[in-house]
Structure formats: structure tokens, C-alpha cells
Amino acid sequence: MSTAAATTAMKPLAIRGTTTDGSPGRGIDVWPPVVLAPMAGVTNAPFRSLCRSFGPGLVYVNEMIMAAALVYGNSRTRSMVTFAPDEHFRSMQLYGSDPVIVERAVDILGSENLVDHIDLNFGCPAAKVTRKGGGAAVPLKKNLLSEIVRAAVRAGSRYGIPITCKFRMGINEELMTFIDTGKICRDAGAVTIALHARTAQQHYAPSARWEAIAQLKQQVDGIPVLGNGDIWCADDALRMMHETGCDGVVIGRGCLGKPWLFRDLVDAFNGRPVRSAPLLGEVLDVMISHAEALMQHHRDNGRNDDTKGIREFRKHCGWYLTGYPVGPDVRRQFAEVSTLEEVRALAASLDHSLALVAGGERLPRGHTNGPINVVLPHGYLDHLDDLQVPDDAMLTTMSGG
């Protein structure tokens, strides 16, 4: 199938809720069918605004928050529920393993009109989470999984908020759960499902297994299926949809240091030529704008200095410079900046005409480690039919899946 034919066959992604009386709720028809994955310490309001400037009208998901932390009034968690004034479809990812707590968290988000869409995370592979039976371990307990999703959907319907779900293939090769997970989420009322095509054990390596996305799409009908994993450039997104038949794509690490990827995706899905990678000067301009917005974001949230903002920005410097031949000394200096003025001075000292090296757009960024040892609670696999809730109420942060 040609790229033109493939894009013609695609359609907008509908993320729409219904209210308790069955009337239409909040929602959006997304074209192209592209969603920004929530990433801890990354997808805050400044980063989402930056991405949105390159690709208006897509779905940009906020950082994941813990249901228990929200319910119990954790101030840091509450401060993360922040959206820009022009963010008209406010999307948030929620993690929780207790149906009662999840329902209360959705109630808070809905009753205070804080969000328009909630995505549930069932893919976190962090040891501190899975060893208590949470995160990627939850889909092993089908009854508990169903109750969590139903609780979220029930609360969401009071406010017309659509509920979606994201998960991994399973724990490891012997404990694959993604087909059953997809069916359970669909039957419990989720409006879309998204698969990160790796197991928890794989973590972020090696390559994502797109064939699992195709299998999920083939075996779980009646609900849009989104694919996630190893989309580094616009062509990857089109190829994933063509090879798997999925209904949309979720962009994670591929946009780190490349917010213009969303512009490229909009162009590619609409059959327009994708622009060449920007020269270093253009990248540095975006970097400085990002840094300025991040500083302002933290000032607006009560910080009277820029230390937190500049510390957060350091990791972005490495991602922005990935693939540009600036040398190790420059990378080290950017990784140690302590003021916005240092960022500007370093940027001004570089050759703005430098081009991305061949293949630079596919160089890995973000997490690359794996495989990992996934720890489950003692005896967990002996009681998969029960509704025992994981003891994760004290967790306030984690990285997602």
C-alpha cells in the first residue's frame, strides 16, 4: 500500500465520553490520530505547550499522578494537575490499584472540572510498584483490573469524562496478559486502549514488538487500539499503522528533544512532505524558549528562584543535542548549567549551521535500559482471582510504563 493510500484509509480517533443518562459527554476527534504519552518529569505544561505549538489539535497527556496521593491531599500531586489556558482538551494519566481510591480520584478531577480525559496506567514496571502487586502486575488479576476500570468509568460518567487505558504486553514471556487486558478494559467501558509493545521485563529494550499491536487489534474488536513503542520519526508512525492496523499512535521518547516531531506527524498523515531536520540554530532557539517557559512555570507555582526549573531543564539539553556534532565538552557544559543566562551564552557560542548527522533522528533518547528483573509479591501468582488491593497507597510518584 502506498503512503497516500494508507493515509487516505485512516480516520480521526474519537475519544468521547458519555454521561450516566447516556447523553454525549466531553470528547475530541483527533486528526491525525496521535497522542503524546505521559512521561514523568517531562510532559508538564511547558513541554505540552511547546509540542502543541508544532502540532495543534492533538492529544497531549499530562504527567501521571497517583490516585491515592490526590485523594489524600498530597500538595505536590495537586500542583501537577496544571494546564495552560489554551489547553482545551485537558488530558491526565492516573495510576491506582484500589477501585475505591480510583473512583474517588476521578470524582475529584471531575467535580472540580480539572480534566476532560483520564487515561489509566497499567504498565508501570518499577520494582517499588510491582513488588506490591501494582502497575504492570495488576493485569494478572483480571477481576481486580475489571473493578478498577469500572470504578473509573462509573465516576467519569458523572461528568462525561472518557476513560482510556494503557498497558504493556505482560510481565514476561511466560506471563502475557495484553489480549485479556484489552478485552477487560473494553468490556468495563474504556473508550480506547493503548499497548506499549514490550513486556515489563523488557523495560525499554530491545526493540518494541509491533506484531503484538497487530494481534491486539485483530483479537479485540469494538474499541480503537493505539500502538506505542519505537516511533522516532513520522515515517515510523505511518509504518506502524500500516503494519499493525492500529487506529492511532502514542508518542513517547521519540519526541524528547524533538517537539517538532508533532509537526512532522501532522504533515505525514496529511500526505505532505516532511521537512528536513532543523539546523542546530533552530534547535537552540527552541531550547531557549523551552527553558524560559519552564522557569516561568515554576515561578507561577510558587518558586521564588529558578533552581528547580534549571535542574529539570538539564536533561532536555542532552536530548535536544542528540545527533548534532557539538562534541562531549559542550554536552557536559549544558548538563551542568545553573542559570538561563548560561544556556543562552552556550547556545550563542555554537555553530548554528551544524546539521543533524545521518540517522541522527533515530538515535535513542530517554530510557534505554533493559531487561530488568520484575519482582512480584510472595505468592502473588497463587491468588490471581482475588480482589486483594496492592499496598501502594503511600506511593506519590513513579515513572509510568
* Residues identified as active-site: 124
The helix/strand/coil state of 63 is strand
Q: Is 12 exposed, middle or buried (0-12, 13-18, 19+ CB in 10 A)?
A: middle
168 within 8 A of 195, measured Cβ to Cβ: yes
How far from the centroid of its chain's Cα atoms is residue 401's Cα? 8
Report d(CA 174, CA 162) in Å as an integer: 33
From first CA to last CA, the distance across the chain in angstroms is 32
**C-alpha distances in Å from residue 232, one per residue of 2, 83, 208, 355:** 20, 26, 12, 18
Contact 121, 94 (CB under 8 A): yes
Closest among 197, 264, 195, 255 to 224, alpha carbons compared:
195
The position carrying cell 527553558 is 291
Residues near 253 by beta carbon (within 8 Å), at least 6 away in sequence: 39, 204, 364, 365, 366, 367
Query: Using the 8-state DSSP alphabet, how is residue 170 labeled?
Result: B
Rounded-to-integer distance, Cα 123 and Cα 196, Å:
8
Give the cell for residue 248: 492511532
Q: 3-state DSSP call for residue 87? A: coil
Is 240 within 8 Å of 315 (Cβ atoms)? Answer: no
Gap between the Cα atoms of 104 and 110, Å rounded: 10
